Structure 1
Amino acid sequence: MARGAGFDKIELSLIRVLHTVITERSVSRAALRLSSSQPAVSAQLKRLRALTGDPLLVRSGAGMAPTAVALALLPAAAQVLQGAQALFGGHVSARAFAPEQAQQVFRIAASDYLDPLFLPELVTRVRAQAPGVTLDLLPLTREFDYRGHLARGEVDVVIGNWLQPPAELHLGRLISDEIVCLVAQDHPAVRSPRGWTLERYLQSEHIAPTPLHAGGRGVVEEHLQARGLERNIVVRSPHFGLAPAMVARSRLVLTTGRQFCARYLGQLPVRVVRCPVDFPPLTYYQLWHDLTHASPALRWLREQVRDVARGLAEAPARGPA
């Protein structure tokens, strides 16, 4: 980065452009997120290139890619913006955000474990109140470094369940749910519920989500492991929303929250049965970084996430057990 006289030419807004252009990897998307025009962002990128002596973004296939210098500058830019937010953003109320006038991108990384209706309801709610907003919905997979994406400002909110959420992130508790089993309607656990013992549960054929990181375990596995127990997992799938259809046509057992399972009763030939393991409640959270903690727009977004999750949780659940 240039020093001396060049340093005096750097405004906070220019650092924001730097951070946004690098994370978006696109001048047009950066302009949308900054509520600016593409020519204006292009002119600021030209200034940044002159100040850093580096192109920052270069052509890569059909898109753009940040240079090594750009990636090295990203953490420092995020730190400066975070400090500025702490200095000047704390007094800003969420009322300063006008959703009906907003023109920006919200990035949400979420698992589909909570409720199959959650993301559709959230999209409907946000679009109704903020028609100019664009939503990028990103899946939580084992390749997705959600902590890094949050720290770099590449994702605004992450939604999922953890036994112990990362300590460096802010969290908002959404709902807690009872853990139950979803099985086909002719599964032995339905025909002979008194015989649905811990031993038979562990020996059954189970379907489980692919862990969110290599070598990791889900909340069900973590709890079983702590008790010295292990179930017979024969299918691991990253497509959690497809698991109920697989269960309906097999002897597979899906162990997850009642709220998720209840949505499939009446749609598929499945039943909800009690789980022979005494699991603690399954708790879902939304996580965000200190970098965006005081943002009025993202505070508003987190409120929508909270209200949609709680509204679905208050809907009547169906099914025995």
Structure 2
Amino acid sequence: MKPPHLFDKIDLQLIRTLHTLLTERSVSKTAMRLGQQQPAVSVALKRLRELTGDPILVRSGTGMVPTDVGLQMLGPVSQILQSAESLFSPARVFDPAHAGETFRIAASDTLDPLFLPSVVARIKSLAPGCRVEVHALSAQAQYAHDLGQGLIDVVIGNWAQPSEELHRAQLFEDDVVCLVSSQHPAVRRGWTQDDWLACEHIAPTPAYLGWRGVIDEHLDQRGWVRNISARCAHFGLMPRMVASSLLVLTTGRQYCQRFLQGPEALPGLTMLPCPVDFPKMVYYQLWHERSHASASARWLREQVKISAAQLPHPNPLSPS
């Protein structure tokens, strides 16, 4: 059994020198590869011989060859160096083509319907061995906690004032508009701010305890209250509800546009300017300090950013 203080005499540089000596079979070549002076490598070889009780390298003709003990050490030494490289590489190196991570994204379904499918498709194209989980923003979730515990990698949504405890990056901005039925009176005669407030509105079910949403937060600041007569936890169903009623859905133009044109289009819908002067909706991705330096997490956030930048821009509203 080796004495208990043996590890105090071994460091990673010594292991690296041993590996290079065994592969180069030369003190001078080892010194050149490691960028050291030859006497320093000779001193290291002496230390290794004392630790192992074996010469490790011996002369044979004009060169040197490993001893039997040296040859037996080559495999374990290579494994130690590979393990050390693996141990310290996650924050610096990420190879998507060969990675097998699971990426967990929490996102609001108020986003453009094309956005999250684009993110998932991009990840699976560039990192086919990785898994992707898309989590809904729910009333039970505590996202600062989940990000801090590594249960979620990134959260995507729109907040008037994102948490200062988390890192954030803006993805895109969107104008606030209204989606209504083509039969809504406002389509024919227009509407005022008071008309809009008095209309029957549909709004999302609160995503978490205390959640108001950017629309109602802005109204609260002005002391206004709209008439919310319907709520739904599934944002993607709201346009169809609007098409068959006099409900008003107030949200981003980017989202509404998808239900007026293209494969997601629904008959019987019209988009109107909102008579209330709302600031632009700003969508962010948020992440915790724990994953800020991780190469895989940085790669994930970059794919989210690229997918957001590639979203087609909605057409502006026609003059009413």
TM-score for the superposition, normalised by structure 2: 0.69
Give the whole-Å Cα distance in 2 for the aligned partners of 1:136 and 1:234.
33
Classify the secondary structure of the residue corresponding to 1:222: helix
Where 1:175 maps in the other structure, the secondary structure is strand
Aligned to 1:305: 304
Alignment partner, residue 288 of structure 1: 287
For residue 221 of structure 1, give the secondary structure of its aligned residue in structure 2. helix
Which whole-Å deviations, capped at 9, do the CAs of 1:23-75 have from their partners, x for residues lacking one? xxxxxxxxxxxxxxxxxxxxxxxxxxxxxxxxxxxxxxxxxxxxxxxxxxxxx
Can you list the C-alpha shifts for 1:150-203, whole angstroms capped at 9, x where unaligned?
01111000000100001100001000110000001111111112xx10111000
Amino acid at match of 2:244: R
Sequence identity (%): 52
Which residue in the other structure is 1:140 paired with? 137
- Whole-Å separation in 2 of the counterparts to 1:152 and 1:231: 38
Distance change (3 Å), C-alpha of 1:316 and 1:223: closer
Whole-Å separation in 2 of the counterparts to 1:320 and 1:157 = 36
Q: Which amino acid aligns with 2:246?
A: R
Structure 2 residue 164 is the aligned partner of structure 1 residue 176: no
Are 2:155 and 1:158 equivalent residues in the alignment? yes
- Give me the whole-angstrom Cα distance separating, in 1, the residues matched to 2:122 and 2:132: 12
Deviation at 1:318, TM superposition (A): 6.0
Cα deviation, residue 237, structure 1: 1.2
TM-aligned CA deviation for residue 252 of structure 1: 0.5
- The counterpart of 1:198, out of the listed 193, 197, 213, is 193
SS at match of 2:203: strand
Is residue 199 of structure 2 the alignment partner of residue 207 of structure 1?
Answer: no
Gaps of 5+ in 2: 8-87
**C-alpha displacement at 1:276, in angstroms?**
0.6
Residue by residue, what CA displacement relative to the aligned partner does 1:212-235 show, whole Å, maximum 9, x if unpaired?
Answer: 222331110010010010000011
What is the match of residue 70 of structure 2? none
Aligned partners of 1:272 and 1:318: how far apart in 2?
A: 10
**Structure ID, larger Rg:** 2
How do residues 227-242 of structure 1 correspond to structure 2 at under 5 angstroms? 227-242=222-237
Aligned equivalent of 1:167: 164
> Secondary structure in 2 aligned to 1:200?
helix
Q: C-alpha deviations, 1:109-141, integer Å up to 9, x for none?
A: 001112011111111111011100000110001
In the alignment, is the contact (CA less than 8 A) between 1:108 and 1:136 conserved in 2?
A: yes
Paired residues of 2:178 and 2:249 also in contact (CA < 8 A): yes
Q: Is the 8 A contact 1:180 1:272 kept in 2?
A: yes
* AA aligned opposite 2:112: D
CA distance in structure 1 between the partners assigned to 2:246 and 2:313 by the alignment: 29
Q: 1:117 to 1:191 in 2, by over 3 A?
A: same
Correspondence for 1:186 among 173, 183, 186: 183
Kindly indicate whether the alpha-carbon contact (under 8 Å) linking 1:89 and 1:295 is maintained by their aligned counterparts in 2.
no
Paired with 1:153 and 1:224, the residues of 2 have a C-alpha distance of: 35
